[in-house]
Amino acid sequence: MKLHKLFICAMLGFGSLNTASVWAQDGDQILDGIGETGLIARYVFDGDAKDWSRNNLHGKSESKLNFINDDLFGKVLSLTPDNKTFVAIPGEAFAGEESLSISGWIYLRSVQRNQHFFDFGKNAKSHFFVVPAGINNDAGFHSEIITGSGGKYKTDSPILEANKWNHVAIVIDIPSQSLNAYVNGVLVSTTKNVNLKLEQLFDSNAGKNNMLYIGKSFLSEGSYLNAKLHDFRLYRVPLNEKQIGKIYHNSLKEEGEEEEETEEAVGDLPKFSKTTPQLYNQYLTSVSDVKIETVVGSLPRLPRYVKGVYRNGIEGPEVRVIWPAPTDNNSVLNAGQYTVIGSVAGTDLKPKAVVTVKVAKESATPELKLKAFHLDEVSLDSDLHGHNTKFIENRNKFIKNLAKTNPDSFLYMFRNAFGQKQPEGADALGVWDTQDTKLRGHATGHYLTAIAQAYASTGYDKELHANFANKMEYMVNTLYQLAQMSGQPQTAGGTYVSDPTAVPKGPGKADYDSDLSNEGIRTDYWNWGKGFISAYPPDQFIMLEKGATYGGQKIQIWAPYYTLHKILAGLMDIYEVSGNKKALETAKGMGDWVHARMKQLPNETLISMWNRYIAGEFGGMNEAMARLYRITNEHRYLEVAQLFDNIKVFYGDAKHSHGLAKNVDTFRGLHANQHIPQIMGALEMYQDSNAPDYYRIADNFWYKTTNDYMYSIGGVAGASNPANAECFISQPATIYENGFSAGGQNETCATYNMLKLTSNLFLYEQRGELMDYYERGLYNDILASVAENTAANTYHIPLRPGSIKQFGNAKMNGFTCCNGTALESNTKFQNSIYFKSIDNQVLYVNLYVPSTLKWTERNVTIVQKTDFPNEDHTLLTIKGEGKFDVNVRVPNWATKGFFVKINGKEEKVKAVPGSYLTLSRKWKDGDTIELRMPFQFHLDPVMDQQNIASLFYGPILLAAQESEPLKEWRKVTLDAKDISKSINGDPEKLQFVIDGVIFKPFYNTYGRHSVYLDVTLK
Ligand SMILES: [Zn+2]
C-alpha cells in the first residue's frame, strides 16, 4: 500500500520578497531520493506540529506554538525561551529502531550555551541531544550520547552560526559504530567506535517512557531554544553524506526545478567483482543452449534454469541464466527464428536461446478444474506429540485478540462519516484509521474478512464461534443501516439526492474536498446517492474522477477504491460463510453506486485515474466486482470490474500492443502491492468472462515475479532502485544490484497477495512449482512475520545482514496495510492444504500440515498426522471409502527421493520433484498413505550474485542467529561436494551449527538474523 505524505519539492528562492512557500506534491513515495519506509516522522512545522509521514506521530505542545512567516521557508515554527515552548514527540517513535538519523533546519537567534535543539532519551542517564552553541563551559556545536552504562560519545565542531538558516543532520549508524554530524550537507564531525545499541537510549518495550523533546532538554529548565525551526525529520536508516546533501539542496531548490531521481546509496553493502565466478559457477564449464517456440506477438518464456556441466566431480544444480528482458514485443512481430544471448553471473558463459516464432494461434488457456475446501471443512491439528504447531500458535494469537476486539472501534469512522453518535466505550483506531487519515476504514475491511474466517475456522470452540457470529452480525447490521441512510431523506419530506452521479458539494462548501477533520467533515448522507457506504463521504471518489492527486491537502486524496475493495471483499466474505443477506445487499448497493458513477466516465478519464500514482490505487476492485457478479449473476458488476483494467500493465497501451498478455515485463520498478491485487483481479475476471488474455496476464506475471523478483523467503519487493523498498526492482533479475534497500524488503501484504494469486492459479493448472512457491512463502515469510508471544506482526521483513524483524499492532488498535492482511493470513492457514477437483474425483494434498479434512461431498474424512517439518514424513488415514485419486505433492526440494507406502506396503512410484504423484484406487475405510521425502540442505543464491545465498533444509529457510547488526554478510565455508558435511545439528529440532554459529528456522527467529550468507565452497 502506498502512504500518506506531503512533499515540499519547491521553495521560493533566496531573497524573495514573497513570503508564502509553494507546495507541490509529486505523489511519490520517495522523498529526496529516500524511500518512505526509512522515514519515522516528519514535522514540516508550517502551522502545526503534525507528523506528515504515514505514522501519525503528531507532536504536542503544552502551550500554544507560535508560527511566523519566514522569507526562505514560508511559515515556520518560532521558539523562544520567554514563551517556554517546545514540541514533544510520542515516545513510541523510537521503539525498536536500529539506527537513527535526524535532519532539520534551524535558524538560531542566539549563541547562548545550553540551548537544546532536541533531547531524546529514557532518563537523565541515557539520552541523546544536540546543543548548537555548546553546553556549560564547552562551546561548540555538539551532538552527544550518554548511556546508562557509562558510555559517552560526542561530535565536536564550531558553534552553529546564528541569524541564518542552517541544515543540521545527526546520524547514529549502529552497524558502522559511528556518530556523524553534518551542517549544510557537509560532514563536520565524526566519532568512531561508538559501541551502542539504541535500546540503551530508548525504552523499546514501553515507548511512553521515552521523552522526545524538540527545542528543550527534558532535564533542565534553562535549556529552551531561541530559534526558528523548519522541516524536522526522523529516519530509521543511517543516512549517508549523499542523501543528506540531497535533502539540503532540494530544500533550497527553485520552484519547478527537476528533482533528479538518484539511486538510494545501498548502505554500502559489499561489492563483488562481476567477473569472479562464485559458488557452483566456479566449477561450471558449460551451459546448454535451449530451443524455444513462441507465436507471433508473444515473447517466449525462457527457462530461468538450464542444465550445466561442472568439473571436479561437482554435482552442481541447474544453472541460473539471466536473459535480456525487452520492454516490448518487437523481436517477435514476424515469423522466423532469432537468437537470444543470456548470461551467467560471474562468468563469461553466454548460453543461447534459439527462438522460433510461428504464425499460429496462442495455446489455449486452461479451465478451472479445482476448488478449495470451505474453511470449516479443514481443521488444523496438533503434532504427533500433542504440541501446537506453529500454524496453531500463530492462529491462536490472532483469534484470541480478535475475539477481544470491540467492533465499535472498527465502525467508529463510519459512524463519524454519517454524523452518528458513538456508542459508549467506542474508541477510534490509530495509524491509518484516524480522524483525518484519508484511508480510514481500510482496517475495517480486513476486519470483516478476518472475523468471517475466524468464524468459519473456530468450529472447535463453541464460545469463540458464537463470539465471531455476533461480531459479524453487529458489524453488518450497522454498516447496512448506514448504507440505507445514504441518499434518503434525513426526516420525512426532507430533501435528498439518491442519484450517485448527482452528489452535490458539501453544505456550505465551494468544492468537493477531503477534509475529514471534526470541524470540516461533511455528514449530509442524504445527498450521497443511494447505497453509498464508506468511512468517509463520497468526495474522494468524485475528486479522483476530476483529477485529484494524492497528498495531504484538502484538495487531494489518498486511495478511495483501495479502501472500498477491502470493505466489499469483507462483506462478501461474511455473506459466503454465513449467508448474511444484509452483507450482500450492502455490497450490492455500493457496487451499484460505483457502477452508476463509473459507467458515465469516458475512457480517457479511467486511464488517467488508474495511472495516477496512489490516488488511483484500487487494490483488487476488479476482483471484488467480478466476484459480486459471480455471486449475483448481475452483469453490470462484471462491466464495472472491467473498467478497472490496468491497460498499460496488462496490454502495454490502448491498442493492446503487448504488455503482460504478450509476456512483456511491464511492471519492473512499480509498487509491488499496488499491482499484485490487480493481477488477481485479472484471474478472477478470466473465471467470469473467459477472455484468455486475463489468464495469460496472471500466469506471465506469476512466472516473472517468482523467478526474477523473489527473495529467498518468498517476498517480492525491496528495491533500492527505484529508491522505494515497496517497489519491484527497476530491472528484472538484479536483486543484488537493485534489491537490498536499507528501508527493508518483503512488504508482508505483498506476500499475502502473492500466495492468494498462486493458489488461485493452481486451481487452473496443477503445476508443482506453484505450490512449491506457496510452501516457501507460507513457512518462511507469512509464518515468520508474527511476534513470538503476541499477534504483533511485520510490515517489511528486512534481509540485510544482522537485521531484526519489527512487529507492530499487538493490540489490534492501529493498522497499516500489512497489519490488515495479517488478520487474514493468520485466520486461514488451513485453506490451501487440500484442494478437490470440481467433479470430486480427485483430492490434492498440497501441504504437509497436521490436519483433518472433511470431504463433505464424498462423505470421506482424511486425517493427516505428522511432525513436519520437524520430520520428513507424513501419514494420511482415509476414513470412509470410495474410488478417487489422491494427488500428493512431490516438492521440488525432495531430490533424495519420495517414498510411498500404502497400508504399510512400499509402492513402486516414479516421483518427480516439483510435480504431483497420483495414487489411484478404490479406497477403503482405514486405508493409510505414508509419504517420506528426506530433507537435504540446499542453497538458494541471489541470481546476480551467486555467493550471496540462503540455506534451506527441505522447505525450511535456516537463518543465522546474530547478536548484532552487521555491515557485511555473514561468511560461511561449505564443502563443495556435499554441503551437509559442514553442517552439524539436530534435524528434529531444526537447529544447526556452522562454524559455531547457530542456525534456526526463520519462522522461529525473533532476534537478529542473517537470512543471506556469503558462501564459499571448498
Ligand atoms: Zn503492506
Residues 484-521 have pLDDT tens digits of 999 999 999 999 999 999 999 999 999 999 999 999 99
Give yes or no for a contact between 575 and 587, defined as CB atoms under 8 angstroms apart.
Answer: yes
Give yes or no for a contact between 723 and 740, defined as CB atoms under 8 angstroms apart.
Answer: no
Residue 485 CA to ligand 1 center (angstroms) comes to 33
The residue out of 906, 932, 958 marking a domain boundary is 932
Let me know whether 67 and 192 are in one domain.
yes
d(CA 541, CA 528): 11
Residue 795 CA to ligand 1 center (angstroms) comes to 6
Sites in the chain below the pLDDT cut of 70: 1-30, 35, 254-267
Q: Does residue 629 form part of some domain? A: no
Let me know whether 311 and 236 are in one domain.
no
Residue 1 CA to ligand 1 center (angstroms) comes to 5
Residue 2 CA to ligand 1 center (angstroms) comes to 8
Q: Does residue 880 form part of some domain? A: yes
* Single-letter residue type at 442: H
Whether residue 941 has a cis bond before it, omega within 30° of 0: no
Q: Does residue 781 form part of some domain? A: no
- The model's pLDDT over 176-210, given as tens digits with 9 standing for 90+, comes to 889 999 999 999 999 999 988 888 999 877 788 89
The confidence score (pLDDT) of residue 93 equals 86
Grid cell at residue 187: 560532514
Which parts of 311-441 fold into alpha helices (H)?
390-404, 407-417
d(CA 321, CA 88): 54
Give yes or no for a contact between 558 and 439, defined as CB atoms under 8 angstroms apart.
Answer: yes
Residue 525 CA to ligand 1 center (angstroms) comes to 31
Domain extent for 489: 415-442+483-622
d(CA 252, CA 11): 6
* 916-946 exposure pattern, b = at least 16 Cβ within 10 A, e = fewer: bbebeeebeeebebbbbbebbbbbbbbbbbb
The confidence score (pLDDT) of residue 148 equals 87
The confidence score (pLDDT) of residue 17 equals 28
Grid cell at residue 838: 470440481
d(CA 212, CA 214): 7
Give the residue among 797, 805, 767, 768 at the shortest CA–CA distance from 781. 797
Let me know whether 245 and 192 are in one domain.
yes
Query: In a 3-state reduction of DSSP, which class is residue 917?
Result: strand
d(CA 212, CA 97): 14
Let me know whether 190 and 90 are in one domain.
yes
Residue 822 CA to ligand 1 center (angstroms) comes to 9
Q: Does residue 103 form part of some domain? A: yes
Which residues, at least 6 apart from 674, have a Cβ–Cβ distance to it below 8 Å? 1, 2, 614, 617
Residue 753 CA to ligand 1 center (angstroms) comes to 10
Grid cell at residue 720: 533500492
Work out the number of other CB atoms within 10 angstroms of the CB of residue 523. Answer: 15
The residue out of 555, 590, 622 marking a domain boundary is 622
The confidence score (pLDDT) of residue 29 equals 54
Residue 726 CA to ligand 1 center (angstroms) comes to 8
Give yes or no for a contact between 151 and 200, defined as CB atoms under 8 angstroms apart.
Answer: yes
d(CA 118, CA 156): 16
Let me know whether 512 and 612 are in one domain.
yes
Residue 817 CA to ligand 1 center (angstroms) comes to 4
Residue 832 CA to ligand 1 center (angstroms) comes to 22
Residue 719 CA to ligand 1 center (angstroms) comes to 15
Residue 785 CA to ligand 1 center (angstroms) comes to 12
Q: In this structure, what CATH number is given to the domain that contains residue 911?
A: 2.60.40.1180
User: CA-CA distances (angstroms) from residue 304 to 19, 184, 323, 669, 894?
Assistant: 58, 48, 8, 20, 20
d(CA 13, CA 15): 6
Residue 548 CA to ligand 1 center (angstroms) comes to 24
Give the residue among 728, 733, 741 at the shortest CA–CA distance from 33. 741
Let me know whether 207 and 85 are in one domain.
yes
Q: In this structure, what CATH number is given to the domain that contains residue 100?
A: 2.60.120.200
Q: Does residue 383 form part of some domain? A: no
Residue 783 CA to ligand 1 center (angstroms) comes to 16
Let me know whether 156 and 244 are in one domain.
yes
Grid cell at residue 592: 451499484
Q: Does residue 128 form part of some domain? A: yes
Let me know whether 119 and 240 are in one domain.
yes
The angle subtended at Cα 314 by Cα 313 and Cα 320, nearest 5°, is 140
Let me know whether 225 and 289 are in one domain.
no
Residue 677 CA to ligand 1 center (angstroms) comes to 12
Give yes or no for a contact between 873 and 931, defined as CB atoms under 8 angstroms apart.
Answer: yes
Residue 552 CA to ligand 1 center (angstroms) comes to 20
The angle subtended at Cα 705 by Cα 701 and Cα 707, nearest 5°, is 120
Q: Does residue 126 form part of some domain? A: yes
Let me know whether 854 and 978 are in one domain.
no
Residue 714 CA to ligand 1 center (angstroms) comes to 15
Distance of CA 370 to the CA centre of its chain: 29
Q: Does residue 922 form part of some domain? A: yes
* 678-701 exposure pattern, b = at least 16 Cβ within 10 A, e = fewer: bbbbbbbbbbbeeeebbbbbbbbb
The confidence score (pLDDT) of residue 791 equals 95
Distance of CA 830 to the CA centre of its chain: 22
Residue 782 CA to ligand 1 center (angstroms) comes to 12
Residue 233 CA to ligand 1 center (angstroms) comes to 22
Number of domains in the chain: 5
Looking only at the bridges linking them, the beta strands covering 370-372 and 834-837 are antiparallel
Grid cell at residue 82: 520567554
- Looking from the CA of 46 toward its CB, the CA atoms found within 13 Å total 19
Which parts of 710-797 fold into alpha helices (H)?
735-738, 748-762, 768-777
Residue 330 CA to ligand 1 center (angstroms) comes to 36
Residue 409 CA to ligand 1 center (angstroms) comes to 21
The confidence score (pLDDT) of residue 257 equals 53
Give the residue among 612, 521, 618, 615 at the shortest CA–CA distance from 563. 618
Let me know whether 926 and 949 are in one domain.
no
The confidence score (pLDDT) of residue 21 equals 25
The residue out of 600, 622, 644 marking a domain boundary is 622
Residue 750 CA to ligand 1 center (angstroms) comes to 6
d(CA 430, CA 862): 44
Let me know whether 90 and 225 are in one domain.
yes
